Chains A and B, each alone.
Chain A
Amino acid sequence: MELSPVFFYVFGALAIACALMVVLAKSPVTSAFSLILVFFAFAAIYAMLGAHLIAALQIIVYAGAIMVLFVFVIMLLDVTRDTGEAGKPHPILMALSVLAAMSLLAVFVWAFKNTGTPAILGPFTTEAITAAGGNTQVVSELMFSEYILPFELTSVLLLGAIIGTVAIAKRQMSAARKGGGK
């Protein structure tokens, strides 16, 4: 699977433009919808690299589930403007954070340009994956055989988080009911 440069630049530019919109947009709804477009552009790039499963999961999990929740909260609270309590940060602080971000980017670019070690190819080359029946087969087979324990542990961790959330919400609810009933 060869990554077509034209589409890479199209979706890469879309991702960068939308990521800037997320940070710079005045209205939180615009930020949220731009973030969805960022995820979508990422998914397109994954799909062009041949990682169809990752692309589909990216859209199902991030764009289809998590962002719906974000948008819901923003709309229900009817946040129309950015209402940071501190207001605008100090200009020196702003300049410093931009500088820090830029230097991080510079380090990344330098590191990717100048590393002498060639990319280490694992056993999962594009040809090997196609021969084994495609992405979905390979990932699910590994997940449910070799990596079954980490996978199950992760799901138990998530379950614990969900139960914890419900317990905390319930305690607050019953406290509110006791307080409101009097």
Chain B
Amino acid sequence: MNAIEWYAMIGKTALVIGMLLMVAPVMNWIERRGAGLMQNRLGPNRVGPFGLFQTIADALKFLFKEDRILGHVNPFWYFIAPIVVLIPACMTFAVIPFASSITVDGTVIRMQAAELNVGFLYVFAIASLGVYGLIMGGWASNNKFALLGSLRSSSQMISYELSMGLSVIGLVMVFSSVDLMAITQGQGEALWQLGPLTIPKWGIFVQPIGFIIFLTAVFAETNRLPFDLPEGEPEIVGFHVEYGSMKFAVFMMGEYMNMAVASGLLASLYFGGWQLLPGMGWALGNLGLAGDAHEWARIGFEMLSFTLKLSFFMWFFVWVRWTLPRFRYDQLMDLGWKVLLPLSLANIVITGAMIYYGWV
């Protein structure tokens, strides 16, 4: 590795980690203001302009609270559980590309933190480890309600992991790769031409059923409403009932980071990832830049495009949270096993037939 590759690697890693750490406070503010907007009230608006510093105040409060370790818990596993939730959440974003590649002094730099041949299999592998944090937390709390909560959450995550994995297979068949960079590149081609309008080969146009299954499964995997049974904050008690102060906040941070990863996956699998949004290509062409400046402007536009798509899905999570009521537990299991799983298997067969007849 030469010097440029080293700098690029450190820069990319810092960017991804910095983004993920910033997600929790920003999303916390958006969620509370969004809730206010939808319920026709103001939400937090006292600390700083528009209440922006509210999350900083909250974080300070969490840090200075007494961090009690209760007498009846198993101290080691109780302490380690929030960390086990947080680490996979930090690791999974590594393979998601946030822009295409750029050549600096003859060295090609791909804009993703880790270039792995296994692509999003890595995301699934690491994300499946997150469930241990919930199990550990619920078990170590030594509390019936916490244990029941962690059992609910882990069975939910395992059930929906299946449909999530199977729903993406159709996409792999269409783009014949598991590498997210290759899948995003493949989505740049045109699918249909409707008069002046070009429909790109985005995942949502070639795999609409797969998209709906993936979206539903992702809500269950991130423990968000309408599938927030693990947490169940209004009335049922979840796995982190015995947690307080910063430990509780770490569980919440993990949830927001998982949301960011899920949004990044949704954007790069089904909405063209860093492919420019309509109008951006025109704007880039009219800037009148050439050479290196043009290349860097292109990277900037691609990152902006990816960020906008990701932000839309982050907002979508909040939007759904304050719109839909929670599923009952048996409804959740019925939906996962009796609807989504057969549907995702059918999707694979249909996709196979479509590829065989050359429609995709």
Contacts and interface: CB of A to CB of B under 8 A. Distances in A.
A59 B129 contact: yes
Contacts of A55: 118, 125
Interface string A12-23: 000000000000
Contacts of A75: 135, 139, 147, 151
Interface string B118-140: 11011011101101100110010
Contacts of B139: 29, 75
A53 B117 contact: yes
Given A56-B121, A56-B122, A71-B135, A64 B116 contact: no
A63 B161 CA distance: 14
A56 B91 CA distance: 14
A36 interface: yes
Given A29-B77, A59-B126, A36 B132 contact: yes
Q: Which of B132, B158, B161 has the most CB of A within 10 A?
A: B132
A72 B151 contact: yes
Interface in B320-352: none
Contacts of A134: 117, 179
Contacts of B126: 59
B128 A65 contact: yes
Contact of A68 (B77, B119, B131, B178): B131
Contacts of A63: 125, 128-129
A71 to B, nearest CB: 6
Contacts of B124: 56, 60, 64
Interface string A45-71: 000000011011101100111001001
A120 to B, nearest CB: 25
A33 interface: yes
Q: Which of A36, A43, A64, A135 has the most CB of B within 10 A?
A: A64
B118 A136 contact: yes
Interface in B59-106: 77
A135 B128 contact: no
Contacts of B117: 52-53, 134-136
Contacts of B147: 75
A59 B114 CA distance: 18
Given A52-B116, A68-B154, A136-B178, A60 B121 contact: yes
A90 B77 CA distance: 33
Nearest to B117: A134
B119 A136 contact: yes
A64 B125 contact: yes
Q: Which of B124, B125, B136, B179 has the most CB of A within 10 A?
A: B125
A68 to B, nearest CB: 6
Q: How large is the interface on B (under 10, 10 to 19, 20 to 34, 35 or more residues)?
A: 20 to 34
Contacts of A33: 77, 132, 136
A53 B128 contact: no
Interface string A68-85: 100110011000000000
Contacts of A57: 121, 125
A72 B154 contact: yes
Contacts of B158: 65, 68
B121 A64 contact: no
B129 A52 contact: no
Contacts of A68: 131-132, 135, 154, 158
A59 B130 CA distance: 12
A64 B135 CA distance: 13
B297 to A, nearest CB: 31
Given A29-B77, A68-B158, A53 B121 contact: yes
A159 to B, nearest CB: 14
Contact of A64 (B119, B128, B178, B179): B128
B170 to A, nearest CB: 15
Contacts of B125: 43, 55-57, 59-60, 63-64
Interface string B148-166: 0001001000100100000
Contacts of B118: 52-53, 55-56, 135-136
Nearest to B130: A64
A56 B132 CA distance: 17
Given A29-B139, A63-B128, 17 more contacts: A29-B77, A33-B136, A43-B125, A52-B116, A56-B122, A59-B126, A59-B129, A60-B121, A60-B124, A60-B125, A64-B124, A64-B129, A64-B131, A65-B128, A68-B135, A68-B158, A75-B139
Nearest 5 CB-CB pairings of A with B: A64-B128, A134-B117, A59-B125, A56-B121, A56-B118
15 contacts: A33-B77, A55-B118, A63-B128, A64-B128, A68-B131, A68-B132, A68-B135, A68-B158, A71-B135, A72-B154, A75-B139, A134-B117, A135-B118, A136-B117, A136-B119
